[in-house]
C-alpha cells in the first residue's frame, strides 16, 4: 500500500460512512465530497511548493512528486472524490456526468502527465525478445508497479471498451498508441511482455497468411468482471416506493423504477462507431507483421534489408 496525505482520505472516508448510514442529507454529502475533491486536487498542485517541505507529511508530497505510482494514486484519489461529487448532484442521470469527469481526467490529466509519460516510455523501451516478449534486461520496480496499477485502473474504468478512441487515439495503455505498437515486431513485443499479459487481460489471436510470409494479429480486450459480488445479477430492476404520498405534477402517484447494471464499467462509451454501438461490440485491432525467414544467409539479410 502506498500512503498518501491523510486529510483528503479522511474526508472521503467520512463521506462514505455518512452515505452508508443513510441519515445525512444529500447536500451535506455533496459538500463533504467537494471538500475532499478540493484537498485531493491540492495534493497535485502543491507537490512542487517549497513550504510543503516543512510540513509533517513532507515525505508523502515528495513521493507524489518523484514516484510514478504515488502520482497515479493521487490522481485516482482526486478522480474518485470528483466522481462522488457528481453522483451527489441533483440530476435525473448523475452517473453520466460522473463518467464524463472520470473519462476526461484519465484521457487528459493522467495521460499527459510528464512523469507518467516518461515512465510508460521507459517501460516500452525495454529490450525484449520479439518472439516471446521476454525481457532481455530487468525492469525497475517503480516502473513495474506503475504499469500494473495503470492497467488495472483502465480495466476498471473502461472495461472491454479500452480501445475506444480517447483524444482521437486508440491506446494500448496510458500514452502508448495502438498505431505505434503494431508497426514492427519490435514495437509489438511490449504486448507480449509478461506483466502486460498478466494484468492487461488482452485477447490475442494469430493466423499465418500469404503463404506464411505474414502473420495476422487480432488484438482485443476481454470481458471484465465489474461486480463486487459474483452473486449479483448482471442487471436488476429496482423499485423505490413513493414515501411522500404526494402525486407529481402530471397527476400520477407511481413508485420510482430504474435499472441497475452491476457489470458495466465506470465510464460509458464515448466515441464508438455506429456498428460498435448497435451491436455492443468492442474494437478489434487487426494488423499484419512480416514473418522473419530464419533460413536467410548473412548476405541475403545484408542486401535485402538495406
Q: What is the pLDDT of residues 229-268, one digit of tens each?
A: 777 777 777 776 765 555 555 555 566 676 777 777 888 7
Over the chain, what is the mean pLDDT?
86
pTM: 0.85
Domain that holds residue 30: 1-90
What percentage of the chain reaches a pLDDT higher than 70? 92
In a domain, 41, yes or no: yes
Q: Please check whether residues 167 and 228 belong to one and the same domain.
A: yes
Q: How far apart are CA 257 and CA 87, in angstroms?
A: 18
Q: Please check whether residues 191 and 282 belong to one and the same domain.
A: yes
Q: Please check whether residues 180 and 303 belong to one and the same domain.
A: yes
Q: Please check whether residues 121 and 81 belong to one and the same domain.
A: no
In a domain, 107, yes or no: no
* Tens-digit pLDDT profile for residues 32-45: 999 999 999 999 98
Q: Please check whether residues 173 and 300 belong to one and the same domain.
A: yes
* Tens-digit pLDDT profile for residues 280-306: 788 889 999 988 777 778 777 777 666
- Please give the average per-residue pLDDT across 184-213, as a whole number: 92
Measure Cα distances from 35 to 14, 30, 38, 226, 291 in Å. Answer: 11, 9, 5, 28, 56
In a domain, 101, yes or no: no
Task: Say which DSSP state 103 is in.
Answer: H
Q: State residue 67's pLDDT score.
A: 94
On the CB side of 7, CA atoms within 13 Å amount to 14
Q: Please check whether residues 22 and 167 belong to one and the same domain.
A: no
Give the model's confidence band at 50: pLDDT under 50 very low, under 70 low, under 90 confident, else very high.
confident
Please name which of 183, 133, 132, 192 lies closest in space to residue 288, comparing C-alpha atoms.
183
Q: Please check whether residues 77 and 223 belong to one and the same domain.
A: no
CA dihedral sign, ordered 50, 54, 55, 58? positive
Amino acid at each position: 500500500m502506498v500512503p498518501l496525505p491523510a486529510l483528503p482520505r479522511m474526508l472521503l472516508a467520512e463521506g462514505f460512512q455518512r452515505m452508508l448510514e443513510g441519515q445525512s442529507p444529500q447536500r451535506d454529502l455533496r459538500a463533504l465530497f467537494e471538500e475532499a475533491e478540493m484537498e485531493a486536487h491540492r495534493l497535485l498542485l502543491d507537490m512542487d511548493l517549497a513550504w510543503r517541505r516543512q510540513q509533517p507529511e513532507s515525505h508523502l508530497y515528495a513521493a507524489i512528486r518523484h514516484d510514478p505510482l504515488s502520482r497515479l494514486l493521487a490522481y485516482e484519489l482526486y478522480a474518485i472524490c470528483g466522481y462522488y461529487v457528481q453522483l451527489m448532484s441533483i440530476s435525473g442521470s448523475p452517473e453520466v456526468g460522473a463518467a464524463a469527469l472520470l473519462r476526461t481526467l484519465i484521457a487528459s490529466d493522467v495521460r499527459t502527465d510528464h512523469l507518467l509519460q516518461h515512465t510508460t516510455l521507459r517501460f516500452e523501451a525495454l529490450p525484449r525478445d520479439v518472439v516471446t516478449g521476454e525481457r532481455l534486461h530487468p525492469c525497475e520496480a517503480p516502473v513495474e508497479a506503475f504499469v500494473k496499477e495503470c492497467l488495472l485502473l483502465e480495466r476498471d474504468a473502461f472495461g472491454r471498451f479500452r480501445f475506444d478512441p480517447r483524444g482521437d487515439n486508440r491506446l494500448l495503455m496510458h500514452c502508448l498508441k495502438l498505431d505505434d505498437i503494431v508497426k514492427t515486431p519490435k514495437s509489438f513485443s511490449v504486448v507480449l511482455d509478461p506483466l502486460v499479459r498478466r494484468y492487461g487481460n488482452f485477447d490475442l489471436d494469430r493466423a499465418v497468411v500469404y503463404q506464411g510470409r505474414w502473420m495476422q494479429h487480432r488484438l482485443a480486450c476481454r470481458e471484465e468482471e465489474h461486480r463486487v459480488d459474483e452473486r449479483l445479477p448482471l442487471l436488476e430492476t429496482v423499485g423505490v416506493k413513493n414515501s411522500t404520498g404526494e402525486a407529481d405534477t402530471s397527476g400520477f402517484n407511481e413508485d420510482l423504477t430504474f435499472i441497475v447494471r452491476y457489470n458495466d464499467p465506470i465510464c460509458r462509451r464515448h466515441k464508438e462507431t455506429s456498428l460498435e454501438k448497435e451491436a455492443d461490440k468492442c474494437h478489434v485491432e487487426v494488423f499484419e507483421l512480416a514473418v522473419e525467414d530464419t533460413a536467410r544467409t548473412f548476405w541475403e539479410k545484408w542486401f535485402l534489408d538495406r
